[in-house]
Structure 1
């Protein structure tokens, strides 16, 4: 596993030092889990923003609405 060096403020160091209270075996596993969760949160946020943009585009484009409705005709609901 690769290593990384970074700086933390006092509150972050205190949080890391309490890794056992959060059920982690060491500081590194706490940091890895935190980074994974942050990555998932960013990806989810990006997906939501994309969906909102598509919805906005759909609502503003009458040609796209008509195309979608015509393509959906005959499909079970």
Structure 2
């Protein structure tokens, strides 16, 4: 039982680390963002860790991928 719990925690930790790394790379390679915006987002992601990654994921990515337009078309605004 202890081994299974350890493996579950390890899998969760590795998954969160990959998510954190992916958001750093995505933010750093974003061509639509200006330099100062990129720096602010990178500092947010790095300093807040997974919480910063989640904020970036839910705030920045939908607007970057046309999420605002889709929401307007669906009548959500």
Same fold (TM > 0.5): no
Q: Which has the larger radius of gyration?
A: 1
Q: Which has the higher contact order (CA 8 A, sep 6+)?
A: 2
TM bucket by the smaller chain? 0.3 to 0.5
TM-score when normalising by structure 1: 0.43
Q: Which has the higher helix share?
A: 2
